[in-house]
Every structure is written in C-alpha cells, then in structure tokens.
Chain A
Amino acid sequence: MRGINICTFGGNVAADPELRTVAGRNGNNVDLIEFTMYVDENTRKGAKSFTVKVTVWQTAPCFTAAGYIRKGTELTVTGALSVSPYITKTDNLPRAGAQLNAVQIVLGRSPRDEEQPQDSNSYDEVPF
C-alpha cells in the first residue's frame, strides 16, 4: 500500500509558467505546464520561504486553470510532493529540489488585476 502524500502550498509564482510538450509512455505527446512558486515557512524567525517547482499535466483537471497563471500570481496548489536534491554549480550550495505534481489549483489575485484603474469612482468634473 502506498502511503498518503498530499501537500497544500500557498504563495506567489516566481516567473511566467513554461508550457512544454513531452513524449508519453505510449508514444503520444503530452502537454505540461511548469512554474516555480515561493512558499512561506511557518516559523517565528521572520520571513523565510522556500521554492517549489510545480508541474501540471495535461490530464490533470487543473490544467485549464494553470493557463491563467503568470509571474506574481497568488495561488494555492495541492498535489503530491517529491524531492530531487542537487548542488548548485555557481556556489556549491545544496538545494532541496522540491517538486509538486499538482492536482488542484485555486487562483488568487494576479498582478494584472491590480493594474486596473482604481479611480473609476472619482469624479473629475463636478456638474454643479
């Protein structure tokens, strides 16, 4: 029996997602969306966060929602976690290499939404 492995992370997207096409096991091409998000650690030592690389497969029900993600978007992702640690080539520091196979995505605020004009209720011309 496989043990349970469910993680729910909320945070901001670090960069624009990348849409890729890979070859599946049966020879068919499968699309996937990959992006990196910052997740806050629930510690008392100030603001400390880690990065998680999220993969959304075409077969996942949240694949359509992932198309609306861009850099800076707030979102909450649920899926299975895996790790592939590595050492950076630039400074030889260890990295956890956290990867999340997304199953569900809840979109939050997007930078584009905030760019909308907020002074629509202000009146420049007073009729009297």
Chain B
Amino acid sequence: MRGINTATFGGNLGATPEHRTVTLKDGNTTELIEFNMYVDSSTRKDAPSFIVQVTCWAGSASFNAAGYLKKGSEVTVTGPLSFSPYIVDGSPRSGVKLNCVTLCLGRSPRDEQSADDLVPAEQPAPEPLAQAPAKKTRSRKAKTPALATV
C-alpha cells in the first residue's frame, strides 16, 4: 500500500510557463505545462523560500487553468511531491517537483495593470443625466367579477 503524499504550496511564478509536447512510452504524444514557483519555507519571516517545479499534464484539471499563468502570477497548487536532487556549480539543489492535480489562480501582474488602466487619475465631472421619458407601462385592468343583477 502506498502512503499518502500530498502537498499544497502557494507562491509566485519565477518565469513564464513552458508548454511542451512529449512522447509517451506507447508512442502517443501528450502536452504538459511546466513552471517554477517560489514557496516560503514556513510562517517565520526570516525563513528562506525554495523553488518547486510544477508539472501540469494534459487531461488533468489543472492543465486548462495553467494556460492563464505568466511570470509573477500568484498560484496555489496541490499534488504529490517528489525530489530529484542535483548539483549546479558545486552547490546542491533539492529539485522539488510537484505533479499538479489542483491549481487555483491568484492575482496576476497583468490584472493589476489593467485595473490601473481602467481607473484614470482625473475623471471629468459626470454630466447630469437627461430626464428620461416615462415609459409607458402596461396596466392590467383588474378584472372585476360581473355582478349579478337582481
């Protein structure tokens, strides 16, 4: 029996995601989106952050959402964790990898920019609205029951 292995990380993307097409063992091709995100080690402010390489496979629920990511986007990912440590220039790296199952989008740099564009610094005073003609409303006549004549 395999033990549970689930990690939930929230952070920002370090670079623009990479969309790749890979060939499986059976010869079929599939797509995947890979990106690196920075994750804070703990709740302490002086704790350093580490990099997690996230992979979103085509067919998973996270693949479509990953298409909206860009550098600096806030994101929360969930999935099984694995490690592939390696050495770069003599210094070791942890090689934290996460197979993304669930992806929640947060704020994106483009969203903040567009929000600033929508609100100009000085807005002219709004003109008073013209008096709109009263709409003709249909009035239903109350149906009065016919009185019986005596």
Residues on A lying within 8 angstroms of B by beta carbon are: 2-12, 39-43, 48, 50, 74, 76, 80-83, 85-87, 93-98, 101
B142 located at the interface, meaning its Cβ lies under 8 Å from any Cβ of chain A in the complex: no
How many chain B residues touch the partner (CB < 8 A)?
33
Assess the B11–A3 pair: CB atoms within 8 A.
yes
In whole angstroms, how far apart are the Cα atoms of A6 and B43 in the complex?
11
B60 located at the interface, meaning its Cβ lies under 8 Å from any Cβ of chain A in the complex: no
Assess the B40–A2 pair: CB atoms within 8 A.
yes
B105 located at the interface, meaning its Cβ lies under 8 Å from any Cβ of chain A in the complex: no
| Central interface residue in B6, B9, B76, B92, by most chain A CB within 10 Å | B92
- Given the known interface contacts A40-B3, A42-B2, A82-B47, the answer about A4 and B10 at a Cβ–Cβ threshold of 8 Å is yes
Which residues from A are CB-within-8-Å of B8? 4-7
| Central interface residue in B2, B9, B43, B99, by most chain A CB within 10 Å | B2
Which residues from A are CB-within-8-Å of B40? 2-3, 5
Within 8 A of A (CB), among B105-124: none
Assess the A80–B94 pair: CB atoms within 8 A.
no
In whole angstroms, how far apart are the Cα atoms of A86 and B90 in the complex?
10
Measured CB to CB, the nearest residue on chain B to A3 is: B10
Which residues from B are CB-within-8-Å of A82? 41-42, 47, 50
In whole angstroms, how far apart are the Cα atoms of A80 and B50 in the complex?
12
Assess the B5–A41 pair: CB atoms within 8 A.
yes
Assess the A87–B92 pair: CB atoms within 8 A.
yes
Assess the A40–B2 pair: CB atoms within 8 A.
yes
Contact stretch, chosen from B26-34, B65-73, B77-85, B129-137: B77-85
- Given the known interface contacts A2-B40, A42-B80, the answer about A96 and B96 at a Cβ–Cβ threshold of 8 Å is yes
Which residues from B are CB-within-8-Å of A9? 3-5
Question: What's the least CB distance linking B69 to chain A, in Å?
Answer: 15
6 pairs from A and B in contact (CB 8 Å cutoff): A6-B8, A8-B6, A43-B82, A83-B41, A85-B85, A95-B85
Question: What's the least CB distance linking A75 to chain B, in Å?
Answer: 9
In whole angstroms, how far apart are the Cα atoms of A5 and B43 in the complex?
9
| Central interface residue in A5, A50, A82, A98, by most chain B CB within 10 Å | A5
Assess the A80–B3 pair: CB atoms within 8 A.
no
Assess the B94–A39 pair: CB atoms within 8 A.
no
Which residues from A are CB-within-8-Å of B87? 87, 94
Assess the A7–B94 pair: CB atoms within 8 A.
no
